[in-house]
Amino acid sequence: MATLSIQERKRLRQIGHALNPVVMLGDKGLTESVVEELSRALNDHELIKVKIAGEDREARAATIAEIAEVSGSEVVQTIGKIALLYKKAPKQNPKLSNLVRHAHLSN
């Protein structure tokens, strides 16, 4: 996957600011059902927030990297326990895509 330019990251962060976490990882970590939900959410919304439980900063960073690798997404931003992930959908759904629905925020 090609890395995002600085302008693209900035635009995605602006849109992501208004979003709430869609997927939350608990104590069990990255299970098969969580991976399925991540894939569904990324295909539907393209830009999502994921909340990771745990106090260990290095473990959270490793989990976020694993999530991005498994889902084929790119980490746009990480703040504390929240990661903003982006993956371009093969076919964009205007009713579900956060990029379409919140496009007015990036102007």
Average pLDDT over residues 81-89: 94
Q: Would you state the structure tokens that stand for residue 8, as one six-digit string?
A: 């693209």
Listed by start position, the domains of the chain span: 6-90
pLDDT tens digits, residue range 6-40?
Answer: 999 999 999 999 899 999 998 888 889 999 999 99
pLDDT of residue 28: 85
Classified as helix, coil or strand, 23 is: strand
Judge whether residue 93 has pLDDT over 90.
no
Distances 34 to 14, 46, 47, 58 between C-alpha atoms, Å: 26, 16, 16, 20
Average pLDDT in the chain: 90
Average pLDDT over residues 55-83: 93
- The CA-based angle 79-36-100, given to 5 degrees, is 60
* Domain 6-90 fold: Translation Initiation Factor IF3 (3.30.110)
The conformation of residue 29, written as its DSSP 8-state character, comes to -
